[in-house]
Structure 1
Amino acid sequence: MERPRLLQSVLGCFGAASGLKENPPKSTAAPIGCSNDFLAVVVPLLPCPLGRLPCSYLGLPLSIRKPRKAELQALLDKLASKLPFWKGRLMTREGQLVYVQAVMTASVVYHLALDVDPWFIKDVDKL
Protein backbone atom coordinates (compact mmCIF):
# COMPACT_ATOMS: atom_id res chain seq x y z
CA MET A 1 0.00 0.00 0.00
CA GLU A 2 1.36 3.43 -0.91
CA ARG A 3 1.73 5.94 1.90
CA PRO A 4 -0.73 8.82 1.88
CA ARG A 5 0.51 12.18 0.68
CA LEU A 6 -0.10 13.78 4.07
CA LEU A 7 2.32 11.40 5.80
CA GLN A 8 4.90 11.94 3.06
CA SER A 9 4.43 15.70 3.40
CA VAL A 10 4.88 15.61 7.19
CA LEU A 11 8.03 13.51 6.92
CA GLY A 12 9.31 15.80 4.16
CA CYS A 13 8.70 18.92 6.26
CA PHE A 14 10.43 17.31 9.22
CA GLY A 15 13.41 16.44 7.04
CA ALA A 16 13.62 19.94 5.60
CA ALA A 17 13.43 21.57 9.04
CA SER A 18 15.84 19.24 10.83
CA GLY A 19 18.21 18.22 8.05
CA LEU A 20 17.42 14.60 8.87
CA LYS A 21 16.05 11.96 6.55
CA GLU A 22 13.79 9.07 7.37
CA ASN A 23 15.35 5.62 7.36
CA PRO A 24 12.47 3.13 7.51
CA PRO A 25 14.64 -0.02 7.71
CA LYS A 26 16.24 1.32 10.92
CA SER A 27 13.02 2.76 12.36
CA THR A 28 10.23 1.35 14.47
CA ALA A 29 6.96 2.78 15.74
CA ALA A 30 6.11 2.01 19.35
CA PRO A 31 2.43 2.74 19.99
CA ILE A 32 1.41 3.72 23.51
CA GLY A 33 -2.15 3.09 24.64
CA CYS A 34 -3.55 2.44 21.17
CA SER A 35 -6.53 0.20 20.55
CA ASN A 36 -6.30 -2.73 18.14
CA ASP A 37 -8.87 -1.06 15.88
CA PHE A 38 -6.71 2.06 15.62
CA LEU A 39 -3.57 0.03 14.97
CA ALA A 40 -5.34 -1.94 12.23
CA VAL A 41 -5.96 1.33 10.38
CA VAL A 42 -2.61 3.04 11.04
CA VAL A 43 -0.05 0.23 10.73
CA PRO A 44 -0.45 -0.24 6.96
CA LEU A 45 0.24 3.48 6.51
CA LEU A 46 3.51 3.46 8.43
CA PRO A 47 6.80 3.15 6.56
CA CYS A 48 8.32 1.06 9.37
CA PRO A 49 7.45 -1.97 11.50
CA LEU A 50 5.90 -1.83 14.96
CA GLY A 51 8.15 -2.02 17.99
CA ARG A 52 7.51 -2.32 21.72
CA LEU A 53 8.48 -0.39 24.79
CA PRO A 54 10.77 -0.50 26.65
CA CYS A 55 13.42 0.14 24.00
CA SER A 56 16.63 2.09 23.67
CA TYR A 57 17.17 5.30 21.70
CA LEU A 58 20.74 6.58 21.37
CA GLY A 59 21.66 4.47 24.37
CA LEU A 60 18.95 5.99 26.52
CA PRO A 61 16.33 3.55 27.76
CA LEU A 62 12.79 4.61 26.82
CA SER A 63 9.81 3.39 28.77
CA ILE A 64 6.42 4.54 29.95
CA ARG A 65 7.37 3.80 33.56
CA LYS A 66 10.03 5.10 35.91
CA PRO A 67 13.36 3.24 35.60
CA ARG A 68 13.94 0.48 38.13
CA LYS A 69 16.85 0.55 40.55
CA ALA A 70 18.61 -2.27 38.66
CA GLU A 71 18.43 -0.27 35.41
CA LEU A 72 19.78 2.84 37.10
CA GLN A 73 22.53 0.80 38.75
CA ALA A 74 23.60 -0.39 35.30
CA LEU A 75 23.82 3.25 34.17
CA LEU A 76 25.81 4.12 37.29
CA ASP A 77 28.24 1.27 36.58
CA LYS A 78 28.60 2.53 33.01
CA LEU A 79 29.45 6.01 34.31
CA ALA A 80 31.94 4.57 36.80
CA SER A 81 33.69 2.70 34.00
CA LYS A 82 34.39 6.05 32.33
CA LEU A 83 36.51 7.07 35.30
CA PRO A 84 39.89 5.44 34.76
CA PHE A 85 41.34 5.61 38.28
CA TRP A 86 44.84 4.68 37.17
CA LYS A 87 44.89 7.61 34.74
CA GLY A 88 43.71 9.98 37.46
CA ARG A 89 46.99 9.54 39.32
CA LEU A 90 48.88 10.52 36.17
CA MET A 91 46.87 13.73 35.61
CA THR A 92 47.28 17.05 37.31
CA ARG A 93 44.40 18.29 39.46
CA GLU A 94 43.40 20.68 36.67
CA GLY A 95 43.46 17.83 34.14
CA GLN A 96 41.20 15.75 36.39
CA LEU A 97 38.71 18.63 36.65
CA VAL A 98 38.66 19.11 32.88
CA TYR A 99 38.08 15.38 32.39
CA VAL A 100 35.20 15.31 34.86
CA GLN A 101 33.61 18.39 33.32
CA ALA A 102 33.97 17.17 29.74
CA VAL A 103 33.14 13.47 30.07
CA MET A 104 31.24 12.87 33.27
CA THR A 105 29.05 15.96 33.21
CA ALA A 106 27.97 15.30 29.63
CA SER A 107 27.14 11.67 30.45
CA VAL A 108 25.17 12.56 33.56
CA VAL A 109 23.19 15.32 31.85
CA TYR A 110 22.37 12.92 29.03
CA HIS A 111 21.01 10.32 31.47
CA LEU A 112 19.14 12.86 33.59
CA ALA A 113 16.53 12.95 30.86
CA LEU A 114 15.27 9.93 32.78
CA ASP A 115 13.16 10.37 35.89
CA VAL A 116 15.82 9.31 38.41
CA ASP A 117 15.69 8.90 42.16
CA PRO A 118 17.77 11.10 44.47
CA TRP A 119 20.01 8.15 45.43
CA PHE A 120 21.20 7.97 41.81
CA ILE A 121 22.28 11.62 41.82
CA LYS A 122 24.05 11.19 45.19
CA ASP A 123 25.93 8.13 43.88
CA VAL A 124 27.00 10.03 40.76
CA ASP A 125 28.27 12.85 42.99
CA LYS A 126 30.28 10.29 45.02
CA LEU A 127 31.97 9.10 41.82
Structure 2
Amino acid sequence: MEYLRNVKMILRCFEMASGLRINFHKSCVVKVGKGRHSEDCWADVLKCQKAMLTVTYLGLPLGARPSAKVFWDPVINRIEKRLAPWKRKFLNKGERLTLIKTSPL
Protein backbone atom coordinates (compact mmCIF):
# COMPACT_ATOMS: atom_id res chain seq x y z
CA MET A 1 0.00 0.00 0.00
CA GLU A 2 2.89 2.34 0.77
CA TYR A 3 4.30 1.72 -2.71
CA LEU A 4 0.97 2.75 -4.28
CA ARG A 5 0.85 5.94 -2.22
CA ASN A 6 4.38 6.75 -3.34
CA VAL A 7 3.40 6.27 -6.98
CA LYS A 8 0.47 8.64 -6.53
CA MET A 9 2.71 11.18 -4.77
CA ILE A 10 5.22 11.01 -7.65
CA LEU A 11 2.42 11.60 -10.15
CA ARG A 12 1.22 14.61 -8.12
CA CYS A 13 4.79 15.99 -8.04
CA PHE A 14 4.88 15.62 -11.84
CA GLU A 15 1.65 17.63 -12.06
CA MET A 16 3.03 20.44 -9.92
CA ALA A 17 6.40 20.54 -11.69
CA SER A 18 5.05 20.40 -15.24
CA GLY A 19 1.82 22.34 -14.85
CA LEU A 20 0.01 19.46 -16.54
CA ARG A 21 -2.84 17.58 -14.94
CA ILE A 22 -3.34 13.81 -14.94
CA ASN A 23 -6.94 12.82 -15.56
CA PHE A 24 -7.29 9.66 -13.49
CA HIS A 25 -10.87 9.15 -14.70
CA LYS A 26 -9.51 8.66 -18.24
CA SER A 27 -6.48 6.67 -17.09
CA CYS A 28 -6.39 2.93 -16.58
CA VAL A 29 -4.31 0.35 -14.74
CA VAL A 30 -3.06 -2.60 -16.80
CA LYS A 31 -1.55 -5.59 -15.06
CA VAL A 32 1.39 -7.09 -16.91
CA GLY A 33 2.70 -10.41 -15.69
CA LYS A 34 2.19 -11.85 -12.24
CA GLY A 35 2.63 -9.61 -9.25
CA ARG A 36 1.78 -9.47 -5.59
CA HIS A 37 -0.76 -6.70 -5.91
CA SER A 38 -3.97 -6.94 -7.86
CA GLU A 39 -5.01 -4.30 -10.34
CA ASP A 40 -8.15 -3.77 -8.22
CA CYS A 41 -6.03 -2.35 -5.43
CA TRP A 42 -4.12 -0.07 -7.81
CA ALA A 43 -7.32 1.14 -9.46
CA ASP A 44 -8.90 1.94 -6.08
CA VAL A 45 -5.90 3.86 -4.76
CA LEU A 46 -5.31 5.79 -7.99
CA LYS A 47 -9.06 6.31 -8.62
CA CYS A 48 -8.86 5.03 -12.19
CA GLN A 49 -10.19 2.18 -14.32
CA LYS A 50 -8.86 -1.35 -14.83
CA ALA A 51 -8.00 -2.66 -18.29
CA MET A 52 -6.61 -5.82 -19.83
CA LEU A 53 -4.02 -6.20 -22.55
CA THR A 54 -4.51 -5.40 -25.51
CA VAL A 55 -4.86 -1.67 -24.80
CA THR A 56 -4.72 1.09 -27.39
CA TYR A 57 -2.14 3.76 -26.58
CA LEU A 58 -1.54 6.67 -28.97
CA GLY A 59 -3.49 4.80 -31.62
CA LEU A 60 -1.46 1.60 -31.47
CA PRO A 61 -2.47 -1.59 -29.66
CA LEU A 62 -0.18 -2.57 -26.78
CA GLY A 63 0.22 -6.22 -25.93
CA ALA A 64 -0.35 -7.47 -29.46
CA ARG A 65 2.16 -8.93 -31.91
CA PRO A 66 3.39 -6.15 -34.26
CA SER A 67 4.54 -8.78 -36.75
CA ALA A 68 0.93 -9.87 -37.32
CA LYS A 69 -0.98 -8.24 -40.18
CA VAL A 70 -4.06 -7.77 -37.98
CA PHE A 71 -2.01 -5.49 -35.70
CA TRP A 72 -1.62 -2.90 -38.46
CA ASP A 73 -5.16 -3.03 -39.94
CA PRO A 74 -6.64 -0.28 -37.70
CA VAL A 75 -3.63 1.96 -38.32
CA ILE A 76 -3.83 1.50 -42.10
CA ASN A 77 -7.61 2.12 -42.09
CA ARG A 78 -7.17 5.34 -40.13
CA ILE A 79 -4.47 6.58 -42.50
CA GLU A 80 -6.60 5.71 -45.54
CA LYS A 81 -9.53 7.68 -44.10
CA ARG A 82 -7.33 10.73 -43.58
CA LEU A 83 -5.80 10.49 -47.04
CA ALA A 84 -9.10 10.08 -48.91
CA PRO A 85 -10.16 13.77 -48.83
CA TRP A 86 -6.63 14.88 -49.69
CA LYS A 87 -6.49 12.54 -52.71
CA ARG A 88 -9.82 13.83 -54.05
CA LYS A 89 -8.45 17.38 -54.26
CA PHE A 90 -5.80 16.34 -56.78
CA LEU A 91 -7.96 14.28 -59.15
CA ASN A 92 -8.74 15.59 -62.63
CA LYS A 93 -12.34 15.89 -63.81
CA GLY A 94 -12.47 12.43 -65.43
CA GLU A 95 -10.99 10.75 -62.34
CA ARG A 96 -13.50 12.55 -60.10
CA LEU A 97 -16.42 11.37 -62.23
CA THR A 98 -15.15 7.79 -62.07
CA LEU A 99 -14.72 8.06 -58.29
CA ILE A 100 -18.25 9.44 -57.87
CA LYS A 101 -19.78 6.72 -60.05
CA THR A 102 -17.99 3.89 -58.27
CA SER A 103 -18.38 5.11 -54.68
CA PRO A 104 -21.23 3.60 -52.64
CA LEU A 105 -24.00 5.86 -51.38
- Range of TM-score over shorter length: 0.5 to 0.7
Bigger CA radius of gyration:
2
- AA of the residue aligned to 1:88: F
Q: 2:59 — aligned with what?
A: 59
One-letter amino acid matched to 1:72: W
Corresponding residue of 1:82:
82
Q: In the alignment, is the contact (CA less than 8 A) between 2:28 and 2:51 conserved in 1?
A: yes
What does 1:93-104 align with in structure 2 at a 5 Å threshold? none
Return the alpha-carbon distance in structure 2 between the equivalents of residues 12 and 79 of structure 1: 36
The one-letter amino acid of 1:39's match is S
**Identity of matched residues, %:** 28
Number of aligned residue pairs: 87
The one-character-per-residue Cα deviations of 1:39-69 (angstroms, maximum 9, x if unpaired) are: 2795343322321111112323222543520
State the TM-score, normalized to the length of structure 1: 0.52
Pair 75,66 (structure 1): closer, same or farther in 2 beyond 3 Å: same
* Correspondence for 2:14: 14
TM superposition outliers: structure 1 runs of 4+ over 6 Å: none
CA distance in 1 between partners of 2:67 and 2:51 (Å): 19
Gaps of 5+ in 1: 91-127
Are the counterparts in 1 of residues 29 and 51 from structure 2 also a CA contact under 8 Å?
Answer: yes
Does structure 1 conserve the Cα–Cα contact (< 8 Å) formed by 2:59 and 2:75? Answer: no
Normalised TM-score (structure 2):
0.60
CA contact (8 A) 2:29 2:39 kept: no
